[in-house]
A and B are shown apart, each in its own frame.
Chain A
């Protein structure tokens, strides 16, 4: 395995002067290709901030973030948007699907927005992913008509649409019942094993953490 991403001396502060809060205090982290890692830590430890920076949705105050050979802390907003679209996938706690779109339309969004239109190839890939997450019979259903577990599976399919190297999942099972949570986690493990997609899952759930091959603990803005 080789390093997919490498973070060095990552610092993130909010506010200025006396109101300044240092959330990340020189954090170092390396993720290898094909890893399935859990990101653990109490509330306020900096997990979400780290995940946001890794997702290129926020820039750190200082430090370096290298992924796939690119130094992302120096990239422009346009470059980060493109990088995010091509190399990163997101699964959020509250699924965050587009409510006026069908399951298939939600899944193919990352490809369609990249290509400027919905191609037949993208639709085929979207159908294949939905079949794979067990929602082949819900392809043309509006996302609002799906159950919580089904929505989260659509979100996973969407995260995989552009074949990203890294999927960042923020409490992906936090809003699901136990059965749905296990189904989602089984799906993530299967994709990780079969496609070698790297997953970094932020969670408070010990069962989810145990299901991951590596556990990364964040405490006081540092990774242990």
Chain B
């Protein structure tokens, strides 16, 4: 064992109570760091999951027909004819793109959809709805309708419709009852309520109805093609990259979920910054604690340091002894704090499974390695000042005392 390490260990074990308290202080700081990482990370997952968990992560549509200035600056153009706007935007050749899209890494599910607006009518009660035609074997591909079904089943046929719980309540219908669906193309179908779901998102539960693709074709007079492809990703943070790739490879319009949720992203960013600030304060507290304790130790051991110097210990040796103490305190405190953090966070369910009102801490996001590394580095930095102060001790002064 290197001799400086032996001296450092002896100094730490010589005052067990003081060392124990110091390590406990560091461990508490690390615990705060880890708890904040898990809480902020968990809150982020929880909010994103709740907000965008049941919506498309990337939506692929036909390119838009935004109006552009056709006249530009060309003086030779005398007449401009505006393109007809009666033709609906639709993906006519979706089948050609689907294999390529499905092959992109990270894509968990795709769903071809025909969407349109209409009304759901039950007797005298009428409610505006957004009607989505989906493949009958992919009912829960995007929104987890299966998991949030409150009545009936998700089996979708050409004569059934799945509606949200708030919508069912508004119309006073239940599973097995008949409703009329009127589309904005003035087509009408009578369908049986096959299932009622409750996703927990008002916009979906009160205003959405799911029908089969064949039913949607009839309602929206779309004999071929689809309106869009919705994509679910295994990592929704990859949405921007996946959307950009699809757009560049297909020429279609690919919109990531982040585009429509800027406020959520700002909120998450602010939350993350607040968490980082608290973590920084925890680290600063650790550094100040270690530095002050080692400075005190330096002062208390001045005469011993002087003797060591007189016996031939170099300044570098003295610095090494005190920096080693700081390193050991940081490392042990970091490991203890990380261990405690992991043990205390483990009983909490992950945010994806957290019950409403529960604490959405995410044990996977404790940043344990980072906490231990930063604490050790911080403790090393904190020990440099006391170590330098120790190395400057004048043996003549302290031996004479």
Known: A48-B400, A96-B303, A100-B14. A90 touches B311 (CB 8 A): yes
Stretch at the interface among A2-10, A74-82, A178-186, A209-217: A74-82
Query: Quick check: A117 and B400 within 8 Å, CB to CB?
Result: no
Residues of A within 8 A of B11 (CB): 100
In the complex, whether B396 has a CB less than 8 A from a CB of chain A is yes
| CB <8 Å contact, A98 and B312 | no
Chain B 296-317, CB-CB to A under 8 Å as 1, else 0, gives 0000000110111111111101
**Is B289's CB within 8 Å of the partner chain A?**
no
* Chain B CB within 8 A of A58 CB: yes
Could you tell me the distance between the alpha carbons of A57 and B6 in the complex, rounded to whole angstroms?
26
Given the interface contacts A112-B3, A118-B3, does A98 sit within 8 Å of B314 by beta carbon?
no
CB distance from A74 to the nearest CB of B (A): 19
Q: Could you tell me the distance between the alpha carbons of A54 and B315 in the complex, rounded to whole angstroms?
A: 20
Q: Are B312 and A114 in contact (CB under 8 A)?
A: yes
| Candidates B3, B308, B315; contact of A116 at CB < 8 Å | B3
Q: Which residue of B lies closest to A78 (CB)?
A: B314
Chain B residues whose CB sits within 8 angstroms of the CB of A58 once the complex forms: 396
Known: A96-B303, A98-B304. A110 touches B6 (CB 8 A): no
B interface footprint on A133-177 (CB within 8 Å = 1, 0 otherwise): 000000000000000000000000010001000000000000000
| Cβ A84 vs Cβ B307 within 8 A | no
Q: Output the least CB separation between B323 and chain A (Å).
A: 16
Q: Does A199 contact B (CB under 8 A)?
A: no
| Closest chain B residue, CB of each to CB of A95 | B307
Could you say which residues of chain A place their CB within 8 Å of the CB of B303? 96
Residues from chain B with a CB closer than 8 A to the CB of A116 are 2-4
Asked whether any CB of chain A lies closer than 8 Å to the CB of B399, the reply is: yes
Question: Which residue of chain A is the closest to B13 with respect to CB atoms?
Answer: A100
Decide: A113 and B304 in contact? CB cutoff 8 A: no
Closest residue on chain B to residue A48 by CB atoms: B400
> Does any Cβ of A come within 8 Å of B1's Cβ?
yes
CA A48 – CA B395 in complex, angstroms? 13
Closest residue on chain B to residue A114 by CB atoms: B312
Interface presence of B10 (CB below 8 A): yes
- Which of chain B's residues 1-21 have a Cβ closer than 8 Å to chain A? 1-4, 6, 10-11, 14
Complex Cα distance, B14 from A77, in Å, reads 30
Partner of B312, one of A48, A81, A99, A100: A81
> Among B1, B3, B317, B396, which residue has its beta carbon within 8 angstroms of that of A57?
B396
A55 contacts B317, CB within 8 Å? Answer: no
Point out the residue from B10, B310, B317, B396 that lies within 8 Å of A100, measured CB to CB: B10
Evaluate contact between B314 and A57: CB separation under 8 angstroms.
Answer: no
CB-CB nearest in chain B for A82: B312
Residue with the greatest number of chain A CB neighbours at <10 A, chosen from B2, B303, B317, B396? B396
Q: Is the interface of B mostly helix, strand, loop or mixed?
A: helix
CB-based nearest B residue for A88: B312
- Chain B min CB distance to A140 (Å): 14
Name the one of B10, B308, B399, B400 contacting A113, with C-beta atoms under 8 angstroms: B308
CB-CB under 8 A from B400, the residues of chain A are 48
Provide the bound-state CA to CA distance between A116 and B5, in Å.
10
- Chain B residues whose C-beta falls within 8 Å of the C-beta of A52 in the assembled complex: 396
Question: Complex formed: what's the CA distance from A158 to B14 in Å?
Answer: 22
The answer for the CA separation of A81 and B318 in the assembled complex, in Å, is: 12
* Given A57-B396, A96-B303; A118-B311 close (CB under 8 Å): no
B258-289 vs A, Cβ < 8 Å mask (1 yes, 0 no): 00000000000000000000000000000000
- Nearest-CB distance from A212 to chain B (Å)? 23
Report how far A55 CA is from B396 CA in the complex, Å: 10
- Nearest-neighbor residue (CB-CB) of B401 within chain A: A94
Q: A92 vs B311: C-alpha distance in the bound complex, in angstroms? A: 12
Q: Taking the nearest CB of chain B, how far is it from the CB of A214, in angstroms? A: 25
Assess whether A101 is in contact with B3, with CB atoms less than 8 Å apart: no
Closest CB of chain A to B6's CB: distance in Å? 7
The residue in chain B whose Cβ has the minimal distance to the Cβ of A84 is: B312
Note all chain A residues with C-beta closer than 8 A to B399.
57, 92, 96
Nearest Cβ in chain A — how far from B340, in angstroms?
Answer: 29
Q: Are B312 and A86 in contact (CB under 8 A)?
A: yes
Residues on A with C-beta less than 8 A from B1 are 117
Instruction: Flag whether A28 is at the interface (Cβ < 8 A).
Output: no
- Contact partners of B3 in chain A: CB under 8 A: 112-113, 115-118
* 0 or 1 for each of A45-57: is its CB under 8 Å from B? (1 = yes): 0001000100101
Closest Cβ neighbor of A162 among chain B residues: B312
A65 contacts B by Cβ under 8 Å: no
> In the bound complex, do residue B396 and residue A109 qualify as a contact, i.e. CB atoms below 8 Å apart?
no
Q: Is the CB of A113 within 8 A of B317?
A: yes
From A161, which residue of chain B is reached at the shortest CB distance? B311
Known: A90-B311, A98-B308, A117-B3. 6 other contacts (CB 8 A): A57-B395, A96-B399, A109-B311, A110-B311, A116-B3, A158-B311
29 contacts between A and B (CB under 8 A): A48-B400, A57-B310, A57-B395, A57-B396, A58-B396, A78-B314, A81-B309, A81-B313, A82-B314, A84-B311, A84-B312, A85-B311, A86-B312, A90-B310, A92-B399, A96-B303, A96-B310, A98-B304, A98-B307, A98-B308, A99-B304, A101-B10, A110-B311, A112-B3, A113-B308, A113-B313, A117-B1, A117-B2, A117-B3
Closest 9 CB pairs of A and B: A85-B312, A100-B14, A96-B307, A113-B313, A112-B3, A110-B311, A57-B396, A81-B314, A117-B3
Q: Which residues on A are within 8 Å of B, measured CB to CB?
A: 48, 52, 55, 57-58, 77-78, 81-82, 84-86, 90, 92, 96-101, 109-110, 112-118, 158, 162
Chain B positions within 8 Å of A, measured between CB atoms, are 1-4, 6, 10-11, 14, 303-304, 306-315, 317, 395-396, 399-400
